[in-house]
Structure 1
């Protein structure tokens, strides 16, 4: 029997325990303040690495279907955790990956809430037909601001800064076309101990973009994109488009989300592309609106937006798992990709997945 651990921090409870009881307002697309130098953007309401580990261990003790695995360590020696739900190795498997970039944390908050969700009766029977892997906070050093370079020009307060890069200043999402021996520690752990080890069919790589992206003058709540490298297998790409259709339909149907098409590159150093080519995994990039911290003011979003963005993450993960489990992903209509507009930016800021 698993030993029960009860050391969830107050900050973690604030980040995840309160939003679920408050339904997002209709028309919440783009709502919540942009950072203007006056509003407090507090990192203290987000999970720290330590409180995240406590949270995962608590859920592990409560959920029989859940198994925690340490897939490697960060540059600074922090264990990288993966939550596993594998009932049958023959089932289709989906991987959810968050915080390759340490300053993009609300998707992680949503992933943690989703892990709790998987332990409830709301998902009864679903895990019999699909395997789920969740890696929250791949870049724990960047998330904790424990890096070998200055973060003095970052904007958030509340106890720590969060940065895109790993402890040595590398962008983990630019490592995916290298030999694993040449990758930074976090990317190497992902490739050697997850992507090469498990038979994964789908992956959603969850990120955050700036705050100024829009469609037809209305701020988006996020953007999506399938692998666009010319080297991707057409069947893998088509399955990626189907995964995107599931996500788009789920978010769009809520009435408070607005998704655009992300204008991403074709480089295979990017996870969305490189992982699809090397492993034949159908991948989807999902960029949520706003970041938890940055040195560009226009990238940082006020904390009043946290609730609906966390909820958007939960909706995305839940819809994907259900569609794979019941097989509806196989027949979903992907024609929306032909008319989905690329997002544009009001201030001309550059997005960078």
Structure 2
């Protein structure tokens, strides 16, 4: 969902794409001191073109940060504005290409067996699919792989199902990652969950006789491939017909409370709800299984938030509000015990901001009880790397996702 300002960036050509050069870009962290500072959003909308600044985090409460990523030319203008308005901010300018190439340039690792993939690697889309295929061959008695559609660029989309017996009426616990292309840790976290289930299958055997786990590791394959091969900060899908610089934000393309009244490139919602192949095929799975799905977690990055509906309004609570907040706090407490990471829990619109056409609200509208978005580490006030996760941190963050998943799975099991 990052809009490329072609006037201000240099590009390098790779085999299939133009590689975006992020040298001399700046990262701004702006402190919101009080409610009067909220006017900054309207000011920036007026002062800058929609494609000139990339919000990494949109703080809404006093004490929170607004984090903005911008090119060298835009940064000078933004810095002058912030100084004139006397905002409290810091600015980091450097060649970001080295940081953005982390996780990408590494020695090839070959899978000897189905389960020996590592959890400290951010795998490419093709590697993820090959991992899944290899795992299914080895563990076919409790693991299956299903193709559920094709993307705009004709990449196949898959989910895996973990459980015993072929009873299609079993309750389902579902997780996904990668609806936003640049949030690579969300893809990796689903693989951490999958590997843990496989390596500890005896621990879950009784649960998986009564519940099936569904994992969508990559909801936005085209965007993820492009993020790895061309533009590390790309967010949307790759349908550029009506929004050439950003594509469609799939997490604004679901038909519940969908709106097209926001012209921002990075969160362009598409021509209509479910206009995109990726969200359409995902919704078909949801609609087909809505009576069986008991919980759904969508992993995102970054911020350390455990969020539940509604996203579209602050004025009313979603059904099961008390149960969702209770379970969310259990997740946060268990993560805190694990590595002292502090996750905040609450409804998405109140904790962050209102948004329309989100998968979170759509899934809740289908009547699914435990419905969450989890914004994984690092915390929202991380002032260094944001979406970029060091290899040494991948497994730790993935384990945070695993803890949240486990709390949800056993909560659903306890209610059967």
TM-score, shorter chain, exceeding 0.5: yes
Q: Does structure 1 retain, via aligned residues, the 8 Å contact 2:185–2:389? A: no
Q: Does structure 1 retain, via aligned residues, the 8 Å contact 2:145–2:161? A: yes
Say whether 1:59 aligns with 2:120.
Answer: no
Secondary structure in structure 2 of the residue aligned to 1:252: helix
Q: Does structure 2 retain, via aligned residues, the 8 Å contact 1:59–1:116? A: no
State which of 170, 179, 197 in structure 1 corresponds to 2:288. 197
Q: What is the deviation of 1:250?
A: 2.4
Say whether 1:114 aligns with 2:193.
Answer: yes
Residue aligning to 1:253: 337
Structure 1 residue runs of 5 or longer lacking an equivalent are 1-33, 155-160, 214-221, 331-353
Q: What is the deviation of 1:320?
A: 2.0
Q: Does structure 1 retain, via aligned residues, the 8 Å contact 2:192–2:395? A: no
For the residues of structure 2 that align with 1:135 and 1:232, how far apart are their CA atoms?
A: 30
Say whether 1:310 aligns with 2:398.
Answer: yes
- Matches for 1:17-28 after TM superposition, within 5 Å: none
State which of 108, 120, 123 in structure 2 corresponds to 1:47. 123
For the residues of structure 2 that align with 1:57 and 1:90, how far apart are their CA atoms?
A: 25
Q: Does structure 2 retain, via aligned residues, the 8 Å contact 1:266–1:273? A: no
Secondary structure in structure 2 of the residue aligned to 1:203: strand
Secondary structure in structure 2 of the residue aligned to 1:71: strand
| TM-score (norm: length of structure 2) | 0.57
For the residues of structure 2 that align with 1:69 and 1:298, how far apart are their CA atoms?
A: 33
- Matches for 1:75-224 after TM superposition, within 5 Å: 75-86=152-163, 87=165, 88-119=167-198, 120-145=201-226, 151=230, 154=231, 161=232, 163-168=234-239, 169-177=247-255, 182-192=274-284, 194-198=285-289, 199-209=292-302, 222-224=304-306
Q: Does structure 2 retain, via aligned residues, the 8 Å contact 1:41–1:302? A: yes
Q: Deviations over 1:138-172 (max 9, x none)?
A: 1111111179xx95xx5xxxxxx462111121111
Q: Deviations over 1:8-42 (max 9, x none)?
A: xxxxxxxxxxxxxxxxxxxxxxxxxx996465623
Residue aligning to 1:275: 363
Say whether 1:226 aligns with 2:308.
Answer: yes
Q: Does structure 1 retain, via aligned residues, the 8 Å contact 2:144–2:161? A: yes
Secondary structure in structure 2 of the residue aligned to 1:103: coil
For the residues of structure 2 that align with 1:325 and 1:53, how far apart are their CA atoms?
A: 29
For the residues of structure 1 that align with 2:150 and 2:306, how far apart are their CA atoms?
A: 29
Q: Does structure 2 retain, via aligned residues, the 8 Å contact 1:94–1:132? A: yes
For the residues of structure 1 that align with 2:254 and 2:369, how far apart are their CA atoms?
A: 13
For the residues of structure 2 that align with 1:176 and 1:66, how far apart are their CA atoms?
A: 29
Residue aligning to 1:336: none
| TM-score (norm: length of structure 1) | 0.67
Secondary structure in structure 1 of the residue aligned to 2:181: coil
Q: What is the deviation of 1:52?
A: 0.5
Q: What is the deviation of 1:271?
A: 1.5
Structure 2 residue runs of 5 or longer lacking an equivalent are 1-91, 106-120, 240-246, 259-271
For the residues of structure 1 that align with 2:154 and 2:93, how far apart are their CA atoms?
A: 33
Number of aligned residue pairs: give it.
Answer: 269
Q: Deviations over 1:21-77 (max 9, x none)?
A: xxxxxxxxxxxxx99646562324421111101111112122211111111111111
Q: Does structure 2 retain, via aligned residues, the 8 Å contact 1:82–1:135? A: yes
Aligned-residue Cα RMSD (Å) equals 3.2
For the residues of structure 2 that align with 1:191 and 1:123, how far apart are their CA atoms?
A: 28
